[in-house]
Structure 1
Amino acid sequence: MQLPETLDGWLGLLEARHGQSIQLGLDRVRTVRDALQLPQTCPVFTVGGTNGKGSTCALLEAVLLAAGYRVGVYTSPHLLRYNERVRINGRDATDGVLVDAFAEVERARGDIPLTYFEHGTLAAWAAFCHAGLDAVILEVGLGGRLDAVNVFEPDCAIVTSVAMDHMDYLGDTREAIGFEKAGIFRAGRPAICSDPMPPASLVEHAEAIGAKLWVSGRDFGFSGDQNQWAFWIAGGSRRGGLAYPSLRGTNQLLNAAAVMAACEAVRDLLPVPMQAVRQGFMLVDLPGRFQVLPGRPTVVLDVAHNPQAAGVLSENLASMGFFPETWAVVGMLADKDVAGAVRLLRDRVDHWVVASLPGPRGLEAQRLAAILRECGVAGGISECASPQEAYALAHEQAAEGDRIVVFGSFLTVADVLAARKAP
């Protein structure tokens, strides 16, 4: 078979090749990893959790780059281009780097089937191994214990939060999900948990395997006022006078404190001066996480797609000040707790514009509108065929002083971002 010569060609092949997009398990990925013969040569951070993974990866990347290290970051999903998933030294990987990496994995896998995500994870690893990096940051795609990322050995693992999501795969209780998330911890290695109330299963697993567990609020934490904040370690140092991260949202201090704890835990491998921490937090940027766009009406983009994230979004909207009316542009996947997310935001929204999302998991606008009505939302509900159409309608009807909030899925935010960037 002739291998594709373009990135689009590879992505099309991988999408068509494997009918099951999610297939948990490590045996196949581990076999191909070994066949690649690309040993781990630098410290690895693995980041899992229900919400906050992307922000934590971005904060950690920014701090390490500011400290002068060459850093690779693998995250998912992307918003506009697949290249966003693989970042090398602060920049998205080029098409050429990704094409070469996909081909390298293809040659190594033989007749072993890989999912789209598994092939992409191994390709990211190949790209990193050829880039001469000082550190690698890997974001878990789903769960942790059986996710493809978990075939690589972290020098430090971070679990950001544990909430109810992906229950078809991870279990229908927080304890079951916590055990899956804790699967990225390793014996004798730092294990950072930025959830201040982790399920007992996570703590028990960390203790059972002998991981060096640090829990937010117990082993490290933060305090602050409107102007600055401080980081502390139990029985250890305290760093005060810190400026707030440039990522918006009150929850970002949980993520920033976890990053500082991780840096402290691996300081013998990767020393990071406080000036780099300050600079990294000041410069970090991550689209789609409570991202407020310039112009009027005010537009907020947030990929919140489950109740925990919707609750954080609700708090962040409340802290923004007064807007005469708020318009919500919403598109969600059918396997999410749509009603749970909507109930946490219904009091913040005056007008709802709902959109259908594509694909077998996409929820039709008509069904989404019905769920909103069942939740007793106030204000009118308009139905549109796509997030772009919904955003156009909201933008047309909103007054200059109003606010438009786009949320519900990466697909929703990506579609609106693409529309705004189109000529």
Structure 2
Amino acid sequence: MNYKETIAYLYDTLPMFSRIGAAAYKKDLTNTIALCEILDNPHEKFKSIHIAGTNGKGSTSHMLAAVLQTAGYKTGLYTSPHLKDFRERIKVNGEMCEQSFIVDFVEKIKPHIETIQPSFFEITVAMAFEYFALQKVDVAVIEVGLGGRLDSTNVIAPEISVITNIGWDHMNLLGNTLEQIAYEKAGIIKENIPVVVGEFLPETKSVFEKVAAVKNAQLIFAQEKRYAIEWKYDHHKLLATVVDKHNDEHEEYALDLTGIYQTKNLVTVLEALQLLQTKGWNISDKQIKEALSKTKKLTGLHGRWELIHENPAVILDVGHNEDGIKQIVEQLELSTYNQLHIIIGMVKDKAVEKVLSLLPKFASYYFTKAQIPRALPENELAQRATAIGLQGKEFPEVNLALTEVLTHAHKDDLILVCGSVFLVGEVAP
């Protein structure tokens, strides 16, 4: 098979969560362990950092990877899902893995697929581990796919674990209370391996404390150590001042990830980096600042309050759950524009009404869908939105909606595309 045929084989043969949802989720690590054993346990051949959380884990993973590679470490980065190209999931020093590697890997593992019957995600995790081992990376930043405890990535023994936050998402798989969701995320905490938790709530803090105590793992709550006190925009950068609570030192950081919610991720990243420094990793404060100012350039991250067009402004944001949309709304309240246009598409298994109820009623809406089976049809999304007071038009495809808006929008308007990672992926540059 050539590369195109190989990718088609993976999509068509293996259960894929992004397409079919919960039916593709394997609730144990058996398949991943079996695949790794076939490959001679590649995940044991490099150091790693494990990142979980409801929101922010993608940005946090990319920030950490940017800093590590700037500090001179050959750095792997595994994230999901991808926006445009499957190979976005597996990178070394910001470069996607080669097409030839994917073809060869699938050819090698194909005889075992029938007996193991892995999911798409289980195969991609094993593929990433194999690539990082072959590339002899110094460290790999590994983003959890879903949850933590039963996620396919949870076979690694990392240097540190990071949990960004806990919010409402994937309740059908992770639990119907924040405590239950926190317990699943806390499943990445390993015996004697320190963990940084970014944000916590009273009902989730005790969950982390209990799990860390059982695992004898050092537990650090980033928001108890430092906080961002002010921010401003300057030349397409977010300038944020962070205070260290221990010594009251103030440091300013310039981020090329410009969403205001990145200040929360920044605090988590800085705490994780300090922990790595205490463990002997050679990372300077100068390298941290340099890397954070160009994370997108170093790692190729897209879709986080990303400006892709000016006059009118077109913003892409992958926010798709309750907490993600709350952060988008907070950003909108800080933005200046003439008229607000929101192009939105969602998938069927999200808390659709809860998300829609958070959005501003004064905006003009354009209801659409991503081109995947899991997408909620645009007419159904429009009906559910109308029921709570959001008015707009329907479009079968996101770029048709965007073309329509651009035709009529004023140069001072703001156009936001959000609601689904897959929707944003169909617009992303």
Relative to the length of structure 1, the TM-score reads 0.91
Where do residues 9-24 of structure 1 align in structure 2 (5 Å cutoff)? 9-19=5-15, 20-24=23-27
Matched, 1:211 2:224: no
Counterpart of 2:389?
A: 376
Matched, 1:332 2:346: yes
Distance across 1 between alignment mates of 2:335 and 2:219: 35
Counterpart of 2:256?
A: 246
Higher mean alpha-carbon deviation, 107-116 vs 40-49, is at: 107-116
Question: Secondary structure of the residue that 2:76 maps to in structure 1?
Answer: strand
Question: Secondary structure of the residue that 1:370 maps to in structure 2?
Answer: helix
Give the gaps of 5 or more residues in structure 1.
none
Higher mean alpha-carbon deviation, 19-28 vs 279-288, is at: 19-28
Matched, 1:5 2:15: no
Distance across 2 between alignment mates of 1:138 and 1:231: 28
Question: Secondary structure of the residue that 1:390 maps to in structure 2?
Answer: helix
Question: Secondary structure of the residue that 2:242 maps to in structure 1?
Answer: strand
Counterpart of 1:68?
A: 72
Whichever residue aligns with residue 31 of structure 2, its letter is R
Counterpart of 1:310?
A: 325
Deviations 1:231-261 (A, max 9, x none): 52x65x6653322321012221221121121
**Contact 1:162/1:178 (<8 A) preserved:** yes
Counterpart of 2:90?
A: 86
Distance across 2 between alignment mates of 1:303 and 1:127: 27
Counterpart of 1:391?
A: 402
Where do residues 9-48 of structure 1 align in structure 2 (5 Å cutoff)? 9-19=5-15, 20-37=23-40, 38=42, 40-48=44-52
TM-aligned CA deviation for residue 25 of structure 1: 1.1
Where do residues 51-62 of structure 1 align in structure 2 (5 Å cutoff)? 51-62=55-66
TM-aligned CA deviation for residue 106 of structure 1: 3.6
Whichever residue aligns with residue 301 of structure 1, its letter is L
**Contact 1:51/1:160 (<8 A) preserved:** yes
Distance 1:77 1:121, change over 3 A: same
**Contact 1:43/1:269 (<8 A) preserved:** no
1:416 pairs with one of 416, 422, 427: 427
Give the gaps of 5 or more residues in structure 2.
16-22, 233-238
Deviations 1:278-317 (A, max 9, x none): 0011011121011112321100100111110000001112
Distance 1:43 1:342, change over 3 A: same
Matched, 1:229 2:241: yes
1:259 pairs with one of 269, 275, 278: 269
Question: Secondary structure of the residue that 1:149 maps to in structure 2?
Answer: coil
**Percent of aligned positions with the same letter in both sequences?**
27
Distance across 2 between alignment mates of 1:402 and 1:39: 48
Distance across 2 between alignment mates of 1:154 and 1:375: 45
Higher mean alpha-carbon deviation, 256-265 vs 211-220, is at: 211-220
> How many residues end up aligned between the 2 structures?
408
**Contact 1:263/1:271 (<8 A) preserved:** no
Distance across 1 between alignment mates of 2:45 and 2:125: 17
Relative to the length of structure 2, the TM-score reads 0.90
Distance 1:168 1:225, change over 3 A: closer
Matched, 1:288 2:299: no
**Contact 2:369/2:423 (<8 A) preserved:** no
Distance across 2 between alignment mates of 1:107 and 1:280: 42
2:367 pairs with one of 347, 351, 354: 354
Counterpart of 1:298?
A: 313
**Contact 1:181/1:202 (<8 A) preserved:** no
Distance across 2 between alignment mates of 1:330 and 1:391: 10
Distance across 2 between alignment mates of 1:103 and 1:152: 25
TM-aligned CA deviation for residue 74 of structure 1: 0.5
Question: Secondary structure of the residue that 1:142 maps to in structure 2?
Answer: coil
